[in-house]
Chains A and B, each alone.
Chain A
């Protein structure tokens, strides 16, 4: 299967701990996106990369959040000092630059106790 993959699929952590999620996009896709989805809502845009450059960050991405895509392939999203309000599904998507269609991974469900 050559779709978008995300790890881990589930993460339970205690408030104040740091967590890191990984996303592996479709191999030829040069854009990678992160979204957050809370229960009963649609996904909300967090940030995106074109190759290794982070080109846009939403105001939802507080300074406790950091994302990287060091070699223009996989990406990591780190949340420091987690809060209960960070509990959500974190979705990764990828696309080609010239095509608006984004392909989504299965998501990482974060629960902060």
Chain B
């Protein structure tokens, strides 16, 4: 079945540091890939998505590229801010309805 494995946290960074959160997946067919973010006290929000191989999703300075050959969708941001402190979830959708999520990575950015 479908599964998502993402980097374990927690991750603690200083402001302006580079952030990478690794995500790999197993799926049938050609899934769509997503990163969702959950800020403290808030619900899940879609951060970015990619629907086919080599697509790059980007939003709010975050980027992730759909790599079919390595079945990966790693999230990156060049210069993090305190406001980026949140839990980040990698997810995939291979069958038109069900999202399969990773366990989440908690990121804390210190001033």
Which residue numbers of A lie inside 8 Å of B, CB to CB? 4, 31, 33, 35, 40-45, 48, 55-56, 91, 93, 100-107
- Return chain B residues, CB-CB under 8 Å to A106: 42-43
Q: Whole-angstrom distance from the CB of B11 to the nearest CB of chain A?
A: 15
B45 and A56 contacting across the interface, CB-CB below 8 Å: no
- Rounded to whole angstroms, the CA-CA distance of A103 and B44 in the bound complex is 8
B46 and A42 contacting across the interface, CB-CB below 8 Å: no
- Could you give 25 example pairs across A and B, Cβ below 8 Å? A31-B97, A33-B97, A33-B98, A35-B99, A40-B103, A41-B103, A42-B4, A42-B89, A42-B91, A42-B104, A43-B99, A44-B101, A45-B98, A45-B100, A56-B97, A93-B44, A100-B93, A101-B34, A102-B46, A104-B36, A104-B43, A104-B44, A104-B45, A105-B43, A106-B42
Knowing A42-B89, A42-B91, say if A103 contacts B101 (CB, 8 Å).
no
Residue from B4, B32, B36 in contact with A100 in the complex, judged by beta carbons closer than 8 Å: B32
Which residue numbers of B lie inside 8 Å of A, CB to CB? 4, 32, 34, 36, 42-46, 49, 51, 89, 91, 93, 96-104
B44 and A43 contacting across the interface, CB-CB below 8 Å: yes
**A-B residue pair count with CB separations less than 8 angstroms:** 53
- Return chain B residues, CB-CB under 8 Å to A43: 44, 89, 99, 101
- Rounded to whole angstroms, the CA-CA distance of A102 and B34 in the bound complex is 10
Q: Whole-angstrom distance from the CB of B38 to the nearest CB of chain A?
A: 9
- Rounded to whole angstroms, the CA-CA distance of A56 and B95 in the bound complex is 11
- Rounded to whole angstroms, the CA-CA distance of A40 and B8 in the bound complex is 10
Q: Whole-angstrom distance from the CB of B98 to the nearest CB of chain A?
A: 5
Known: A33-B99, A42-B4. 11 other contacts (CB 8 A): A4-B43, A33-B97, A35-B99, A41-B103, A42-B91, A45-B100, A48-B98, A55-B97, A100-B32, A100-B51, A101-B34
- Rounded to whole angstroms, the CA-CA distance of A55 and B4 in the bound complex is 24
